[in-house]
Structure 1
Amino acid sequence: MADKVSWAIKTLTGKHATCGRLEINPIVGCDWLCRLMQSDIQANPDIPVESLQRICMERYKIQVKKRLFYKVKAIAKELIHGGFGEAYNLFPRYGEMVKQTNPGSYALVTWTQVPAKVQPRNKSCLFSFAAQVRGFLRGCKPIIGIDGAHLSGYYKGTPLTAVGIDGNNEMFSFAYGIVSKESVETWGYFMRNLKCLFEKEGCNRDYWTFLSDRMKGVDAAIMETFSRAN
C-alpha cells in the first residue's frame, strides 16, 4: 500500500484453511518446560516421561519429544533436591554424623592434596556402622568376601564392599567404601582401614580367609595387610 508497510489482499483463490495453531514449536526448550512442569515432577518424582508429554499436550497444546523430557526431569530434580555436587560436599559432615549418632562406628573420608586456594576433591571413603562390624566379629565365620563394582552416573568411581557369612550361611555386609578405581593403591587403602576397623574393636587376628575374583591389586593388598590370610 502507499505507506510501504501495510499489505492488502484483494483476491483469494480457494478455501483458506491452512492457518492454525502449530503443535510443534522448535523454540520450546528445557528451561521453559522445567518452569512450567516443576510442580508436577515435585508431586511425583517418578512420573513417566510419557505422562509429562501428555500433560504438555493437554495443557499447552505443544507436542514435545520424549528425549527432551528426560533432561527436563533431571534439571527439575536437581532444582528440587539439589545436585550430586552438593551431596558430595557434605561427605565430611556425613562421616562426623555417623560417628556421633552411632558410637563405635568407623567413618573415614579422604580428600586430594591441593594448594590452599584450590577446592579439594573427594578421593575415597570407607564406612562401617558399629552394629555391622561387631555383628561380624562376634557372630560370623572368619571368612571375608570382597568385591568391587562400577558407578555409571555423572560421578564415576568404584564401590568396594566387604561381607561375611553368618550362622545361617547368608551374607552379612559390614564395611563398604568408594574409591576412584580398582588398583593396588585403592585395595591397599581398603584393607588397611579394614585392619584398623578390626583393631578398634580389639581384634588383632590376621589369619582371615578372603574370597574374591582376583581383581587387580587384591592379592598384593591382602598379603601386605594380613600376612597370614588365605
Structure 2
Amino acid sequence: MQQDLLEKFGVQVSQRRLYRAKRKAREGDYGNHARSYKKIPTYANVVLETKPGSIANIQYERSDIAMNPTLKRSFLCFDAMKKGFINGCMPFLGINGCQLKGSFGCVLLAAISLDGNNGLFPIAIAIKEVKCKDGWLFFLHHLDAALVSMIDKQLCIMSDQQKFVFTTNMLTIVNS
C-alpha cells in the first residue's frame, strides 16, 4: 500500500498510519468485534421473548454484571431446531468446534445432524473461551438439557478429537 500511494499520488505515509487505515477499512467491511460481542445479550433476550421454547444462556467473566461484564461463554438453540431435529433428522449428532478470528480468541462450537436429504441440519451453537474443558461442559450440559427430554431413541454421536463419556442422560468430557 505504501508503494502504491507513493507511485500513484506522490504521498509518503507511515506504516503506523497505514495500519490504522487498514484496520478502519476492515471494520467498515466486517464490523467491530467488540461491538458485536456486546450485542449478544440483547440478541439472547430477543430470542427468548420472541421464540418460546428456545434456549439462550450467557455466562459472564465477572460475577457482578453491573460492572462492565465480559462475555465468557454463550449457548443458543432455537425451539424450531430442536423440533426439526426430533421430527426430521437421522439419530446422529455431530459435535465440533473451530477457532474464531479476531482479538477475543474464542471458539465456536456447533451441534449438527443430518436431515432426510443427508444435508447438514444445525441444532445448537455456543461460543466459549479457548482451551477450556469447562466451556465444553457448558455446551454439552445445555445441549443435553435441550434434547434429552425430547429424544426417545438412541443417538450416534460423533466428535473430532474430544473424548466423551456417555452416561444415562448426560454427556461429559474425560479429556480435552
Residue from 106, 109, 113 that aligns with 2:62: 113
TM-score (norm. length: structure 1): 0.61
Does residue 147 of structure 1 match 2:113?
no
Larger radius of gyration: 1
Describe the shift of the 1:173–1:115 C-alpha distance in structure 2 as closer, same or farther (beyond 3 A). closer
The residue aligned with 1:219 is 164
> Where does residue 39 of structure 1 map in the other structure?
none
Q: Which amino acid aligns with 2:53?
A: G
Return the match for 2:156 from 182, 188, 209: 209
Task: Confirm or deny that 1:197 pairs with 2:142.
Answer: no
Counterpart Cα distance in 2 of 1:117 and 1:138: 41
User: Tell me, what secondary structure is at the counterpart of 1:134?
Assistant: helix
Q: Aligned letter for 2:161?
A: R
How much does 1:226 deviate?
4.4
2:24 to 53, 56, 75: 75
TM-score norm. by structure 2 comes to: 0.77
State the alpha-carbon separation in 2 of the partners of residues 57 and 154 from structure 1: 33
Letter in 2 for 1:219: F
Q: Matched residues in 2 for 1:82 and 1:152: separation?
A: 13
- Alpha carbons of structure 1 residues 116 and 106: separation in structure 2 relative to 1, 3 Å: closer
Structure 2: which amino acid aligns with 1:185?
D
Equivalent residue runs for 1:7-22 within 5 Å? none
Offset of 1:65 from its aligned partner? 6.8
Match of 1:22 in 2: none
Q: Any conservation in 2 of the 1:208–1:226 contact (CA below 8 Å)?
A: no
Higher strand share: 2
Higher relative contact order (CA 8 A, sep 6+): 2
Provide structure 2 residue ranges, at least 5 long, that are not aligned to the other structure.
none
Residue equivalent to 1:20: none
Look up the match of 1:8. Answer: none
Q: What is the Cα-based RMSD across aligned positions, in Å?
A: 3.3
Deviation sequence 1:195-223 (CA, Å, 0-9, x none)? 22125xx51547321111232xx414x44
Q: Are residues 214 and 205 of structure 1, via their aligned partners in 2, closer, same or farther at CA, if it must alter by over 3 Å?
A: farther
Between the aligned residues of both structures, percent identity stands at 26
Task: Tell me, yes or no, if structure 1 residue 132 matches structure 2 residue 81.
Answer: yes
Pairing 1:158-197 to 2, within 5 Å after superposition: 158-197=107-146
Name the stretch that deviates more: 189-198 or 96-105. Answer: 96-105
